[in-house]
Amino acid sequence: MASHYARKTGKVDDAVPYLERAIKESTDNGLVPNNYVFELGSCYYMKLDWTKSAEIFEGLISDDKNEFELKPFCALHLCSCLLMMDREEEAFALLTRVPSLVLNKGNRQSKIALARTERILQKKSAPFIAFEFLYLKRDLAHMEKATLEKALEILDQIVQKVPSSDSDSLAAYHLIKGTILKLVGRSDEAMVSLDYLIEIRNTVKVERYSIPFGYWEKGELLYHKGYVKEAEAAFAAIQAYKGPYDVSHDFALIPARH
């Protein structure tokens, strides 16, 4: 609980020793510390330490005897780390293994992992998947400002390699960038990114989750600026959203904030 509190209050470095202690004490007492290890990997993920995070998630999925229901979710996290380390071939090879790691098809995280894996393989690219996970898990909201500023730099480096025709990736980029800009207090710049996302919504083909989330973030931004009616219109657009993408899986990861 102490580690979770530290992580959710933006003190990720403080969470690490709590988790390391929990892992040691569990192991010493013959218990399998899967959840603690997963949380530790998530901490390094929030620190943008892809190498350390990849090492931890690899450990969780490599043991065939370890029956951990979050293995598919761990595999996607590992895949995203590999992509951030320019190990694309390994990342996509790992994606093909995700269905075989599912222990419980009714598990919510497994459903999310399978759906996301299918869409990534359909697109054959996922340049912003690591930041998409940070967004969908609400970890962005609990990261230190310096780390968020670093994330912005990385995002801007990645987007230079994205073709202008790849609306799916550009939509993810503007959703995440707009959210981070909002979190660091650059609201006007945030609105530009979110407006652009909404502007290109009809060209997004696969990762259409970005559309309702774009309206969500814009609505929050307008609400906090005092534009209540405009915010209500943005939130109403989410309810009116119709498309091939089922937002329920990803929205299930985000608690209501209004």
Taking residues 32-36, report their average pLDDT.
93
Instruction: Kindly state whether residues 8 and 62 are assigned to the same domain.
Output: yes
Write down the residue that tokens 């998409």 correspond to.
132
Same domain, residue pair 81 and 185: no
Is the pLDDT score of 179 beyond 80?
Answer: yes
Confidence grade of residue 254 (pLDDT, cut at 50, 70, 90): very low
**Residue 148 resides in a domain:** yes
* Residues 129-156 pLDDT 10s: 999 999 998 899 999 999 999 999 999 9
CA-to-CA dists, residue 88 to 81, 138, 177, angstroms: 10, 25, 23
Region of residue 43 (phi > 0: left; psi between -120 and 50: alpha; otherwise: beta): alpha
pLDDT digits (tens, 9 = 90+) for 88-98: 999 999 999 99
Please choose, from the candidates 205, 148, 144, the residue with its C-alpha nearest in 3D space to the C-alpha of residue 179: 148
Domain that holds residue 198: 132-251
Mean pLDDT of all residues belonging to the chain: 89
Q: Which two tokens stand for residue 93?
A: 């090879």
Task: Classify residue 244 by its DSSP letter.
Answer: S
Report CA 71 to chain centroid distance, whole Å. Answer: 16
For residues 148 and 113, membership in a common domain is answered with no
* CA-wise closest residue to 232 among 253, 194, 210, 258: 258
Q: What pTM did the predictor assign?
A: 0.88
In a domain, 256, yes or no: no
- The average pLDDT across 4-13 equals 85
Among candidate residues 97, 126, 155, the one where a domain is terminated: 126
Q: Please report, as a single letter, which amino acid is at residue 117.
A: T
The answer to whether residue 186 is domain-embedded is yes
- In one-letter notation, the amino acid at residue 38 is F
Give the residue from 126, 143, 160 where a domain finishes: 126
33 touches 22 (CB < 8 A): yes
**Mean pLDDT computed over 28-56:** 95
pLDDT at 248 over 60: no
Q: How far is CA 245 from the centre of its chain?
A: 17
Q: How far apart are CA 104 and CA 112, in angstroms?
A: 12
pLDDT of residue 243: 58
State percent of the chain over pLDDT 90: 72
Are residue 156 and residue 186 in the same domain, yes or no? yes
**Top-confidence residue, 253 or 116:** 116
Q: State the total domains in the chain.
A: 2
Q: Are residues 116 and 142 in the same domain?
A: no
Assess if residue 240 is contained within a domain.
yes
Q: What is the largest CA-CA distance in the chain?
A: 57
- Say yes or no: 37 and 63 in one domain: yes
**Among 82, 100, 126, residue at a domain's last position:** 126
Decide if 149 is inside a domain.
Answer: yes
CATH classification of the domain holding 48: 1.25.40.10
Instruction: Tell me the pLDDT tens digit for each residue of 191-246.
Output: 999 999 999 999 998 888 899 999 999 999 999 999 999 999 999 998 887 655 44
